[in-house]
């Protein structure tokens, strides 16, 4: 009989939390890991701004998500599962989840992520610390959770959409689709379930959200997602599958960059200097009337190269890609900047 891990491998499932790690490989690591008391965690923290698909999946397919977790608990001979969920979703879906967990009979506990865990509380090793009641910050890696996760035991951490897909694979109903959050300056903001290999352009056109004005998009999250210009849409949506549309003329570049820097400054856990101080300095510089652009570019390089965890590294993505992909390619007259400023900024980012 074909094992569920073989079926997942054949289906080509990848994690839908953003990192796209092959699901079968992760399950096999936990299965093969030595150690008792294995655990399964469903990550429903969905803290990336603008990404709403996990909430949508819980609302419409809670039974499938719980079924995917139950399959994991059974396959990996795990002791227990934790449904790690952000406070807003906890309030909204607690009863629905409790009902589905009871019906499944699986040993799953709903764990409400505390408010103070914030954005970093969704990072894979930070959530282990949160469940254990430790300081809210990422752990050193290795060891990785599949070999040493919760209380040092092998632990599988997968996202809501991943467990939903596992349930479909187990029932031979998986159709190689994924969920996309489409929002911003478009007509029909929503979560859409569409083929996983569709390009961003096809998604926007099919959902009648392709703008008829100069625009750019941010893909993979409104905080850490990459900004792309209208000629770069011939690729699938990366990461958590969100697409935010921005009108080019409506946005003020410096305000937008400050918005991104302020978000990461607020959400930094403070454990490492490049992220704690780097994001704070970025915010200060971008708040000035005439920012020191070479220092902005240098701080972003420093973040990307030396931050301890993915949050710090990702903090550089939005601003850098916005400058290189959007500002550098837009006509001078299409962006909200004084004459000559666009070129001056872009020259610092080469």
Place of tokens 């410096």: 254
Q: Is 276 in the site for ligand SF4 (CB under 6 A)?
A: yes
CB 301 within 8 A of CB 283: no
Q: Is 128 in the site for ligand SF4 (CB under 6 A)?
A: no
Q: Which of 67, 137, 196, 226 binds ligand SF4 (CB under 6 A)?
A: 137
Tell me how far apart the alpha carbons of residues 134 and 239 are, in angstroms, rounded to a whole number: 28
Q: Which of 209, 218, 229, 271 binds ligand SF4 (CB under 6 A)?
A: 271
Cβ-proximal residues to 188 (8 Å cutoff; 6+ apart), any chain: 182, 207, 208, 209
For residue 165, give the nearest of 85, 240, 65, 76 by alpha carbon.
65
Q: Is 72 in the site for ligand SF4 (CB under 6 A)?
A: no
Q: Which of 114, 152, 195, 270 binds ligand SF4 (CB under 6 A)?
A: 270
Nearest-CB residue for ligand SF4: 312
Stretch touching ligand SF4 by CB under 6 A, among 32-40, 99-107, 203-211, 301-309: 301-309
Q: Is 118 in the site for ligand SF4 (CB under 6 A)?
A: no
Q: Is 308 in the site for ligand SF4 (CB under 6 A)?
A: yes
Q: Which of 138, 145, 184, 221 binds ligand SF4 (CB under 6 A)?
A: 138
Between 114 and 270, CB nearer to ligand SF4:
270
Q: Which of 81, 223, 225, 312 binds ligand SF4 (CB under 6 A)?
A: 312
Q: Is 168 in the site for ligand SF4 (CB under 6 A)?
A: no
Phi, psi for residue 51 in degrees, rounded to 5: -95, 120
* Angle 98-102-103 from CA coordinates, rounded to 5°: 120
Q: How many residues form the binding site for ligand SF4 (CB under 6 A)?
A: 15
Tell me how far apart the alpha carbons of residues 264 and 260 are, in angstroms, rounded to a whole number: 7
Q: Is 311 in the site for ligand SF4 (CB under 6 A)?
A: yes
Maximum CA extent, the chain: 68
DSSP assignment string, 102-147: HHHT--EEEEEPPGGGTTGGGSHHHHHHHHHT--SSPPPSSSPTTT
Tell me how far apart the alpha carbons of residues 249 and 272 are, in angstroms, rounded to a whole number: 37
Q: Which of 268, 302, 321, 325 binds ligand SF4 (CB under 6 A)?
A: 268
Which residues in this chain contact ligand SF4 in the complex, by CB under 6 A? 120, 137-138, 268-272, 275-276, 307-309, 311-312
């Amino acid at each position: 009989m074909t094992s569920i891990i073989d079926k997942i491998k054949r289906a080509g499932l990848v994690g839908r939390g953003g990192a796209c790690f092959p699901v079968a490989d992760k399950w096999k690591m936990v299965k093969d890991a030595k150690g008792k008391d294995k655990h399964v965690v469903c990550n429903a923290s969905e803290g990336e701004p603008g990404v709403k698909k996990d909430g949508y999946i819980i609302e419409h397919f809670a039974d499938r998500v719980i079924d995917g977790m139950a399959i994991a608990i059974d396959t990996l001979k795990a002791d227990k599962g934790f449904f790690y969920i952000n406070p807003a979703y906890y309030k909204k879906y607690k009863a629905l989840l409790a009902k589905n967990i009871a019906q499944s009979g699986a040993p799953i506990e709903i764990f409400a992520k505390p408010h103070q865990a914030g954005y970093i509380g969704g990072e894979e090793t930070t959530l282990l610390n949160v469940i254990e009641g430790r300081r809210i910050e990422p752990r050193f890696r290795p060891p990785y959770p599949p070999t040493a996760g919760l209380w040092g035991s092998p632990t599988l951490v997968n996202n809501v959409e991943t467990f939903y897909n596992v349930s479909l694979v187990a029932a031979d109903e998986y159709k190689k689709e994924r969920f996309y959050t489409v929002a911003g300056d478009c007509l029909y903001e929503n979560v859409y379930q569409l083929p996983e290999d569709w390009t961003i352009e096809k998604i926007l056109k099919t959902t009648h959200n392709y703008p008829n004005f100069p625009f750019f998009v941010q893909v993979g999250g409104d905080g850490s997602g990459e900004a792309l210009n209208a000629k770069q849409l011939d690729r699938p949506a990366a990461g958590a599958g969100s697409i935010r549309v921005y009108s080019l003329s409506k946005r003020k570049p410096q305000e937008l960059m400050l918005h991104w820097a302020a978000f990461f400054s607020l959400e930094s856990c403070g454990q490492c200097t490049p992220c704690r101080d780097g994001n704070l300095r970025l915010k200060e510089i971008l708040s000035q009337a005439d920012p020191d652009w070479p220092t902005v570019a240098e701080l972003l390089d420093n973040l990307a190269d030396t931050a301890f965890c993915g949050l710090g590294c990702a903090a550089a993505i939005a601003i850098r890609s916005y400058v290189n992909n959007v500002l550098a390619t837009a006509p001078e007259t299409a962006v909200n900047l004084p004459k000559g400023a666009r070129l001056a900024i872009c020259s610092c980012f080469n």
